[in-house]
């Protein structure tokens, strides 16, 4: 089976053997769409839209990359980004590293609501608190489309 990989270059794929019975299957009823042009995020569950919110996206020098990816983890960084922070299987095309890590793109909160609707981040998608309340229920592996 062909799968998306969380490494560079973005949208890399690899193959896994599924015939040995060692693969554990799961399915997410959620889908997340980020519109870079509209600076909006929409979250769906079982085809029903749960909400649409304004977001902040990457600044001109550190744009948010477009493409299909997935939710790789749900963490509390303790850095004021809200809970959860959802790292995606995607990396910045402008930065090789960020804060000591591999410049992974993520969905996370932001304390200043004045950023929403603007291109101001280092590539991550900053979301309002109400969005985090919905994203808290999204399982790992959920597909995210950024376009």
Tens digit of pLDDT for each residue in 86-97?
999 999 999 998
Residues in the chain: 147
The helix (run of H) or strand (run of E) holding residue 130 is helix 129-135
Is the model's pTM score more than 0.85? yes
Q: Is the pLDDT of residue 59 over 80?
A: yes
Q: Is 12 helix (H, G, I), strand (E, B) or coil?
A: coil
Average pLDDT over residues 42-50: 98
Long-range own/partner contacts, residues 97-101 (CB < 8 A, 24 or more apart): 98/122, 98/123
Examine residue 84 and say whether the peptide bond preceding it is cis (omega within 30 degrees of 0).
yes
In 10 A of CB 2, how many CB atoms? 7
pLDDT at 37: 98
The residue with greater pLDDT, 80 or 108, is: 108
Provide the CA 122 distance to its chain's centre, in angstroms.
Answer: 13
Average pLDDT over residues 102-124: 96
**Pick from 128, 118, 132: nearest CA to 36:** 118
**Pick from 26, 29, 27: nearest CA to 44:** 29
Under a CB-based contact definition with an 8 Å cutoff, are residues 116 and 39 in contact? yes
């Amino acid at each position: 089976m062909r799968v998306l990989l969380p490494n560079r270059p973005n949208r890399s794929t690899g193959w896994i053997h599924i015939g040995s019975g060692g693969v554990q299957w799961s399915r997410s009823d959620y889908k997340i769409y980020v519109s870079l042009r509209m600076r909006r995020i929409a979250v769906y569950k079982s085809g029903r839209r749960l909400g649409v919110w304004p977001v902040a996206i990457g600044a001109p020098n550190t744009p948010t990359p477009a493409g299909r990816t997935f939710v790789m983890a749900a963490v509390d960084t303790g850095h004021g980004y809200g809970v959860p922070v959802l790292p995606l299987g995607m990396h910045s095309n402008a930065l090789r590293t960020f804060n000591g890590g591999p410049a992974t793109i993520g969905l996370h909160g932001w304390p200043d609501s004045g950023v929403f609707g603007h291109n101001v981040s280092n590539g991550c998608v900053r979301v309002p608190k109400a969005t985090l309340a919905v994203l808290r229920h999204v399982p790992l592996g959920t597909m995210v489309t950024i376009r």
